[in-house]
Chain A
Amino acid sequence: MHRAIAALLLVLAPVGAGAQGIVRGTVRDKDGSPIASASVAVRGTTLAARTDPTGRFRITLVPAGRVHLYAAAIGHASADTIVSLTGGDSTLVDFVLAAEPLALPPVDVISSRVPHFGERPSTSVADVTSQDLDRRALNTVDEALEHVSSVQMINGQTNIRGSTGYVQGLNSRVLMTVDGIPMNQGDRGGINWDLLGVDEIESAQVLKGAGSSLYGSAAFGGVINVTTRDVPNGLHTRLRLSGGGYGDPPHSIWRFRDEQGLLGSGDLAASYGDDVIGGRISGGYRHSDGYREQDQEDHLHFAARGRWNTANTRVDVSGAWADDRYDVPLAWCNRGECADSGQEYQPFRVDTGQLGARTDSKKSYVAVQSRTTLSPRFAWSARGSWFRTDFTDVRPDMNEYGIGNRFGLAGQIEARPDSTRTVVVGLEGTFSDVTSDIFGKHSQSEFAAYGQSEQRAGAVRVSGGARVDFLAVDGGSLTAVVSPRIGLTIPTDARARDGGMLRASVGRGFRAPTMAERFVHTFALGFEVVPNPTLRPETAWSFEIGHTSAPMFHTLRLDAALFWTEARDLIEPQIIQVLDSSGTPHINIQLQNVVRARIAGIDANVIAAPISGHLTTTLGYTYLSTRRQLSGDTTSGPLAFRPPHQITLSADYTFGVAGVGADYRFASRPETIELEGFVDSRRVAVNVLDLRASWTRGPVELRLLATNVLNYIYNLVPETLAPVRTVTVTAVWSH
């Protein structure tokens, strides 16, 4: 006990002012160009910083003496250096990083909750870099996530290794965080990908596998953290203009309009900052005619961010507001429902009875977070957030509305008692409420405590911890869920800094039913959807073992993981028969905890740079084997909306100021869909090729993006056409 108290006092004890200094400097490549978003850290401490767009960084509270600094950036070899720092002084350190496309990206944001030493964690993490976002000239960040191996977006619902499937937007088994702050909707638990303008976003990280031991509910199937652009020093402005058009249906009998469908957007951002304060405002507007009948969309967004730095504390205040009005092509037209030209179905047209359906949606968030470094071995952070969604579905037969709020408070402590151990503990509370004519008026509270520790033993690192969540609906009794996790990483080539590594982890995850799942009362597919307030949390044990190879032949690196999830009480829609007061049977739909499921598979990736400095290619393959079994039923079958095979392939070739690239996505035809027999079961494999080109000169960038260039016509969910060929030209001016 005395030793523990002494250790605590040791890590808490602030270093005397005379014994600390500031390390500042730059991170550049061999050509002298600044590297933005590089990680710079003092090894063995909680002290770290990211470089701004000019490549500059600044770390305070650095203990005087010999300081071991480490810098890493995506696509570059990492570098270590030791500098001597005099107390009360500042030292300038300039890193030069060599281009190394096979280098493992530095662990950064998602890992803010994962205790680590700057190396890779024990679970699979995929990165969507700022270059990935820039070169694709996207409108929303989910368009970039589609190219991440084992990630599939199904009509806005996110699947990481087949986690979510598709349930009409009523839930998500993937958590989205923005700068670490949970941003799933308070009512449905879904994700609003267009909450932030894509120009606000710097990068994203995808944590694959159960993340509940750190992030709680919704992280059942993984976490996607979006990192927004920081406010750099100096005055900066950025203008982005984009315009393009949609391809026509490939068959004349599917034509639904005489004119070309167009889309366009404009975004403007301005920021100013110095070493103490900084702020940025941005706004943008987007219009799309849509690629099918009744698919027009107008989107307006504003965002603001401020930062304040003191010697040992950083405070960030951020917020965003978005207003959408979009037509809703609920389902494509089947024979007899529209001017179908004698066709059995018309994928570009909607049922005449749906004409006029649209959604008006407003969403906004405000967040405050601070991080204080009390000593090189101890830091704490706190945050508060409010996320609000407000939608009105305007339908020909009736309107529906919903207003949801999600309030969050959290505190976290990071400690490094010694050079071999790092610890993260935290508390978190979330309150969500909804007022809606389809969900009713309800609230849900979640309180959690978590702790994780990582211990180095030689070259081996062992991490472990747990999270306890308490859930209450409408102020009722608490339900407790415990989510433990343990992980292991073992270098397979301890001599090389960037060598191979084995990783393994096992953990328990859960997902609390959303208020939408518990209380939804509406009509779908012609059936009444009835509420089920007694829904229980879904739970699962997830296991993963993976290996990242060292670079092979100086041109390629392999990564492969075997994953296995055993889930219980999965919530899925069921067809039920009920008798009314007169004894007449009625068919209803209800969400129930009825499914035991297994999701297992392989997630394999290859990155290759066969022409160093010019050509980079990545190949990802995911195999999914799923089984579902209804309670009380011995028969089993595959889970719905899980394609057994997924392939992603990307190639980028750069020459001077220009570059060209291509992305290819394949997903095999899902074996089953929900409510098969009640909807048009027509579905095909996904087979999409995107091409892009870019040209950069000084402050100006021009990008050409052609998505689905083969105009492959497919659907991911029943009776809903996926995007057709779209060609977009984007111009960006940065100052």
Chain B
Amino acid sequence: MRNVVLLALVIAGCGGGLQPEPICAPSLVGLCGTLRFQGTIPDSTDNVFVAAYATFPQTCNDLIANRRPLIPSSVPYTDSVADYSVALAPDTYHWVVAVWKKVGSLTLTANDTTLLRVAGYYRDPADTTQPGVVTVPNGSAPGDINFLVDFDKLRPATDFVTCTAQ
């Protein structure tokens, strides 16, 4: 038994194995930061994702077609704070937005706006009434792109762009 105990101690000291990547991983090209959540999560919530736009969208079609990434993945939204990261091509992005998605299938058309609401967006630190502009350089990711997601203030796309469907 002494052998077993010694072995267990040796192994416990080894650690290792696959580990979660840091949110702002050294290999990440894109954005990363922290989302703070407030409000009541709607029962119809499917997920929350972060997307970015190189130019501020003008129409509902822009909102869908110019979204990066085009098919975003969910961020954890059940805790009050969550780290996130989004892989993006190097560029300057003028709107970084957290999008709430209702349960339902997206079609990558303007009709998707019926399922989507703007839950929050990154703001200019110098003027928090305005969206913040973020540049993603080659080979790295700007960190600390932090902003608030408010489930009590989910805003339709028409608050920002011109849409025929909502």
Q: Which residues of A contact B (CB under 8 A)?
A: 251, 253-254, 335-345, 347, 617, 649, 651, 653, 660, 662, 664, 682, 684-685, 687, 689, 710, 712-715, 721
Contact = CB atoms under 8 A, between A and B. Distances in A.
A341 B20 CA distance: 11
A714 B17 contact: yes
A339 B47 contact: yes
A452 B76 CA distance: 66
Nearest to A608: B3
Contacts of A660: 1
B85 A710 contact: no
B89 to A, nearest CB: 12
A714 B14 CA distance: 14
Contacts of B14: 687
A174 B145 CA distance: 54
Given A339-B47, A689-B11, A710-B12, A344 B21 contact: yes
| Most chain B Cβ neighbours within 10 Å, of A341, A345, A664, A712 | A341
B87 A251 contact: no
27 contacts: A254-B20, A335-B73, A335-B85, A335-B87, A336-B71, A336-B73, A339-B73, A340-B73, A341-B73, A341-B75, A341-B76, A341-B82, A342-B23, A342-B75, A342-B85, A342-B86, A344-B28, A651-B4, A653-B1, A664-B7, A664-B11, A684-B18, A689-B8, A689-B11, A712-B16, A712-B17, A713-B19
Given A342-B32, A714-B17, A651 B3 contact: yes
B109 interface: no
Nearest to B24: A342
A713 B7 contact: no
Given A335-B87, A342-B32, A617-B3, A347 B17 contact: no
B18 A713 contact: yes
B34 to A, nearest CB: 11
A687 B11 contact: yes
Nearest to B11: A689
Contact of B7 (A254, A653, A662, A685): A662
Nearest to A332: B18
A655 to B, nearest CB: 11
Contacts of A649: 7
Given A335-B87, A344-B21, A710-B11, A687 B73 contact: no
B62 interface: no
Interface string B62-88: 000000010111111000001111110
A651 B7 CA distance: 11
Contacts of B71: 336
Contacts of A687: 11, 14, 16-17
Interface string B91-114: 000000000000000000000000
B27 interface: yes
Secondary structure dominating the interface of A = loop
Contact of B20 (A337, A343, A710, A721): A343
Given A336-B69, A343-B85, A682-B18, 15 more contacts: A251-B19, A335-B87, A336-B73, A341-B73, A341-B74, A342-B75, A343-B20, A344-B25, A347-B18, A685-B16, A687-B14, A689-B7, A689-B11, A713-B17, A714-B17
B85 to A, nearest CB: 4
A714 B71 CA distance: 29
Contacts of B47: 339
Contacts of B7: 649, 662, 664, 689
Contact of A336 (B23, B27, B75, B87): B87
Contacts of B28: 344
Given A653-B1, A687-B16, A343 B75 contact: no
Given A344-B25, A662-B7, A714 B18 contact: yes
Contacts of A617: 3
Nearest to A649: B7
A343 B20 CA distance: 7
A545 B23 CA distance: 52
Contacts of B73: 335-342
A291 to B, nearest CB: 14
Contacts of B21: 343-345
A253 B20 contact: yes
A475 B85 CA distance: 58
Nearest to B18: A713
A319 B159 CA distance: 71
Contacts of A338: 73
A342 B84 contact: yes
| Most chain A Cβ neighbours within 10 Å, of B17, B23, B27 | B17
A343 B83 CA distance: 10
Nearest to B31: A342
Contacts of A651: 1, 3-4
A396 to B, nearest CB: 15
A682 B27 CA distance: 13
A487 to B, nearest CB: 35
Nearest to A687: B14
Nearest to B70: A336
A678 B40 CA distance: 43
A664 B21 CA distance: 27
Contacts of B86: 342
B1 A251 contact: no
A338 B83 CA distance: 17
Given A344-B28, A653-B1, A251 B20 contact: yes
Contact of A715 (B18, B75, B87): B18
Contacts of B76: 253, 341-342
Interface string B39-79: 00000000100000000000000000000010111111000
A682 B19 CA distance: 11
Instruction: For the complex of A and B, list the 3 residue pairs with the smallest distance between their C-beta atoms, beginning with the closest.
Output: A344-B21, A339-B74, A342-B85
A709 to B, nearest CB: 9
B50 to A, nearest CB: 8
A164 to B, nearest CB: 24
| Most chain A Cβ neighbours within 10 Å, of B3, B27, B47 | B3
Nearest to B14: A687
A112 B7 CA distance: 39
B95 to A, nearest CB: 19
A256 to B, nearest CB: 12
A344 B26 CA distance: 11
A113 to B, nearest CB: 38
A516 B71 CA distance: 36
Contacts of B3: 617, 651
Contacts of A335: 73, 85, 87
Contacts of A343: 20-21, 85
A335 B28 CA distance: 10
Nearest to B25: A344
| Most chain B Cβ neighbours within 10 Å, of A343, A660, A710 | A343
Contacts of A682: 18
A402 to B, nearest CB: 33
Contacts of A710: 11-12
A142 B148 CA distance: 52
B7 to A, nearest CB: 6
A38 to B, nearest CB: 29
A22 B8 CA distance: 53
A721 B17 CA distance: 11
| Most chain A Cβ neighbours within 10 Å, of B4, B76, B83, B87 | B4
| Most chain B Cβ neighbours within 10 Å, of A344, A660, A685 | A344
